[in-house]
Amino acid sequence: MSRKKIMSPAWLLLLALCAAPVLSLSDQEIEQRFKKVEAENQKLRQEVVKAQTSNKKQVTNLKRLMSSQDKLQIHGFMSVAASETSDPVGDTPFGFRDTLTYRSDTVLALQFDYQLSEDTKLVSQLMANGRSSFDVDAEWIYLSRKMTDNWTVRAGRLRLPIYYFSDFIEVGFAYPWARPPIEVYASTQPNFEGVDMLYRFGFDEWTFVGQVYSGTTAIDGKAENYVPPSVGTVKLADDEFKGTDYFGGNIVASHDALNFRLGYFHFDVGGTLDFTNSNFPAVGIINFSQLCEYLTGAVLYNDDIWFALFEVGLLNKRSIGPLPDQLSSITTLGRRFGKWMPHLSFTNLYTYNDPEPTEPDPKSAIYQDRSYTLGLRYDMLANTSIKLEVCHYNYFAGSHGMFGVNEDFDDSLSIYTVSIDSVF
């Protein structure tokens, strides 16, 4: 008997029923179905391509974002300080008061460095300062271009590089004091708008950095800070002096912990004073412009144990105006004991060669004082320090020294300060 299987009638009937609809379709209907299936497939292919394109864009945007984050660096610093003076002082730009105040040295700043290319970057620093009622201001906005390994050119709003600590004068963590001694560091406007060039080179075991710069600026000020009450009400146009013809240069030589610095600064300062409503209305409105030169020098020794600084500034007038010739200096000695650093400073300020002022009272531009500062710094963290400081001023010799002219006080004054400084 044969083992070949024979399909049953039931299976044959089932196949016939399934094939019947297909076999009953015309050629036109079959073609329409194929076109419909093809259209659906085309739609699916388009959706797949669209999804792939969207994914590629997302990946590209993500790569751009990551690249931008790599190019952008954000830094910052902060100081929170409380101070009080032993006696009333005038309305000075320093914000000191004979009651507890947090405005004189409190500051918060953010700095943004964006690398436009390998050799070009954009730098902006925004700062809120208690002395300016915490109004946010752009301290730095400049474009920096590295021309060669030695040469760098910058243009925009820059820090005026007169003193050793000028570039980071507001960064309290960078120095031992609660504030750099005002006899020297408060003498000029900290910023200017212009251009500078830096040249770095080495010789033997020494490193040198040279800088030249030029520009202009507007210097905020109020006439009552410079004119005594006996003169009456005097107005300064736009509450600012005009600083023009800025140019200068400096050079820093460094060898291990030893640093030397020499600087020269030439400028013209002018403004409009209105005496119409003062006690001397006959003086009227005065426009003045005074040409000056500023010479500075510094020696700094700063290793892991000792901090020693001597810095001096000499202001020479070159034309008639309210600013007198002036000499100021700082001497600081500090020693580190682990995280602790006690330090002692002596500063001196006096004017000579009496000015030929435009205002009626020439004594308003004569001032001098000496100060002794005893301070203690504690490095609480790698980026945070706490400071205690007492600064005693004396030898005003009948002048108002660095303080307001609208207050009378004895021939001595003390400022007590506690601060917390941090960089991040």
What's the pLDDT tens digit per position in 39-49? 777 777 777 77
Residues whose CB is less than 8 angstroms from the CB of residue 198 and which lie 6 or more positions away in sequence, other chains included:
151, 152, 153, 154, 209, 210, 211
- Mean per-residue pLDDT for 30-37? 73
Q: Is residue 147 part of a domain?
A: yes
- Distance from CA of residue 182 to its chain's centroid? 18
Of 39-48, 199-208, 345-354, 396-405, least confident by mean pLDDT is: 396-405
Question: Which DSSP symbol is given to 400?
Answer: -
Confidence class for position 251, pLDDT limits 50, 70, 90: very high
Choose among 145, 142, 169, 144: nearest CA to 158: 142
Is the per-residue pLDDT at 19 higher than 80?
A: no
Q: Is residue 52 part of a domain?
A: no
SS3 state of residue 176: coil
- Number of Cβ within a 10 Å radius of residue 221: 16
User: 76-90, 184-198, 343-357, 385-399: which has the highest mean pLDDT?
Assistant: 76-90
Q: Is residue 115 part of a domain?
A: yes
Q: Residue 399 pLDDT > 80, yes or no?
A: no
Ranges 45-54, 210-219, 277-286, 304-313, most confident: 304-313
Domain span at residue 341? 73-423
Summarised one tens digit per residue, pLDDT across range 133-190 is 899 989 999 999 999 999 999 999 999 999 999 998 999 999 999 999 988 887 556 8
Which pLDDT band holds residue 2 (cuts at 50, 70, 90)? Answer: very low
pLDDT of 407 = 53
Pick the residue with more confidence: 94 or 263? 263
Domain count, the chain: 1
Model-wide pTM > 0.85:
no
Please write the tens of the pLDDT for every residue from 310-345: 999 998 888 776 677 889 999 999 999 999 999 999
Is 398 among the domain residues? yes
Q: State mean pLDDT over 208-232.
A: 74
Q: What is the average pLDDT across 362-368?
A: 55
Task: Tell me the C-alpha distance between 86 and 370, whole Å.
Answer: 16
Provide the residue count of the chain. Answer: 424
- Residue 332 main-chain phi, psi, to 5 deg: -130, 140
Indicate the DSSP class of residue 278.
B
- Where on the phi/psi map is residue 75: left (φ > 0), alpha (ψ -120 to 50), or beta? beta
Mean per-residue pLDDT for 203-210? 96
DSSP labels, 101-147: BSSSS-EEEEEEEEESSSSEEEEEEEEEEGGGTT-EEEEEEEEEEE-
How is residue 409 annotated by DSSP? -
Give the mean model confidence (pLDDT) for residues 39-63. 72
Over range 382-402, report the average pLDDT. 85
pLDDT at residue 397 in the model: 67
29 within a domain of the structure (yes/no) = no
309 occurs within a structural domain: yes
Q: Under a CB-based contact definition with an 8 Å cutoff, are residues 91 and 404 in contact?
A: yes
For residue 403, tell me if it sits in a domain: yes
The CATH number covering residue 282 comes to 2.40.160.10
Q: Is 132's pLDDT higher than 90?
A: no
Q: Is residue 254 part of a domain?
A: yes
Q: Could you tell me the pLDDT band of residue 4, with boundaries at 50, 70 and 90?
A: very low
Rounded to the nearest integer, the mean pLDDT of the chain is: 83
pLDDT of residue 358: 42
- pLDDT for 185 equals 87
**Mean pLDDT of the region 120-140:** 92
